Amino acid sequence: MLEKLKRLPDDPILGLAAACRADPNPDKVDLTVGIYMDEQGICPVFEAVQQAQKALAAEEITKAYIPPVGDALFNSGMQQLVLGTNSQALADGRVASVQTPGGCGALRIGAEIIQAAAAGTRVWVSDPTWPVHIPLLGSVGLSFETYRYYDPATHGVNFDAMVEDLKAAGRGEIVLMHGCCHNPCGADLSLSQWEVIANMAEQQGFIPFVDIAYQGLGDGLEQDAAGLRTLVARLPEVLVAASCSKNLGLYRERTGAIIFLCQDKTNADALVSQALVAARRVYSMPPAHGGLLAGRVLADEKLNASWRSELMTMCQRINGLRTDLATRLNKTGKGDFSFIEREKGMFSFLGLSPEQALRLRTEFGVYMLDSSRINVAGVNASNIDYLVESVGRVL
Ligand code: LMR
């Protein structure tokens, strides 16, 4: 029976990263998968995480299972990080969370909860969105509709079109939003636009599900969560998928959290119980290591301060690279790339055709997604000239 199965195409993101790794071209540039890389092209381990890891290694006496809900320090730390330490919802006991295997696990558990509440619920996703969103949420049986979001002509959000489309999102339907640093386009909503969405959700009764995988890499930890916090302050129900992959650099440790904002504490407890049953069905309990590290970093004053300052340096470096790249690409005279500077986080579309992206790969060893999404954090002083020259050549 199994022999009937055909080989599937490689993942459009991870497959390209693997192809780049295998490319012997000494000038190759990897702008594929969304990981932060420093000037040396290395994805570093935060100093605070290294210290937490040393302490943990010295103290750890068991590898017995952790509770399915995850580490308590981690859960409270994540709730405060995402919602803010003075969140009214937190004070009211309307928030609950469960540690998950990465932000993906959070999305999946969120989907399970939605499916349990109303099978086949319609989820509105931005056009475009991270390509894994639909298979991840869809695998439990939810259905999808897209709302217009990115306008390639202006390289910005087409907010009027987004609002127009979301007028059809009804009571109990889900609107999946990127909390900050939109993946793949880097174009984010302004705070007043978040207010408009909050008004619509209030009036129409749709429920936002916010994926905030890049908090801290746009403008800063607090600024990047401001839109989401606007929703949380106004609405009875919001789901949040948070990840420690990027902002704590815990990529391979698969560390994330699903956070529920509920009507009251009884409902919050009910959702946790539902999440635990769903988790038991899929993976039983989350991996311990990343949650224990993140929990320590978030709870310890010194480690927390060190982590925040290192993260801010990364954020500023990405923004500096955005300015640099836009300036240099503009100098090629092949177009106006100033939008790169206006966008946020790791990603921007360069606006190239799939053929041009393919030429960049095969002729120059410059790897970006077929959509011309680049990971800005993969640019550095040693590859920027070559990158700009190569892009200029295919344009
Ligand atoms: C990306 O979009 O490159 C990241 O979110 C990593 C991934 O898993 O796709």
| pLDDT at residue 217 in the model | 98
Any ligand 1 atom below 6 A from CB of 212: no
Going by alpha carbons, the residue nearest to atom 1 of ligand 1 is: 34
Rounded distance from Cα 375 to ligand 1 centre (Å): 10
- Signed CA dihedral, 63, 107, 177, 175: sign only: negative
Provide the pLDDT for residue 338. Answer: 98
Is residue 13 lining ligand 1, measured as CB closer than 6 Å?
A: yes
- Distance, CA 202 to ligand 1 centroid (Å)? 31
Annotated active-site residue 213? The verdict is yes
Atom of ligand 1 nearest to the CA of 184: 2
Active site residue 194: no
Q: What are the residue ranges in the chain where pLDDT is below 50? A: none
Catalytic residue among 52, 169, 213, 268: 213
Q: Is 128 in the pocket of ligand 1 (CB under 6 A)?
A: no
What distance in angstroms lies between residue 348's CA and the mean position of ligand 1's atoms? Answer: 13
Residue 264 annotated among the catalytic residues of the structure: no
Ligand 1 center to residue 3 CA distance, Å? 31
Quick check: is 130 catalytic? yes
Chain CA centroid to CA 91, Å: 26
Residue 183 Cα: closest atom of ligand 1: 2
Indicate whether residue 129 lines ligand 1 (CB < 6 A).
Answer: no
CA 36 to ligand 1 center in whole angstroms: 11
Give the model's pLDDT for residue 51: 98
Domains of the chain and CATH, by start: 2-44+309-394 (3.90.1150.10), 65-299 (3.40.640.10)
d(CA 207, CA 197): 10
pLDDT of residue 383: 97
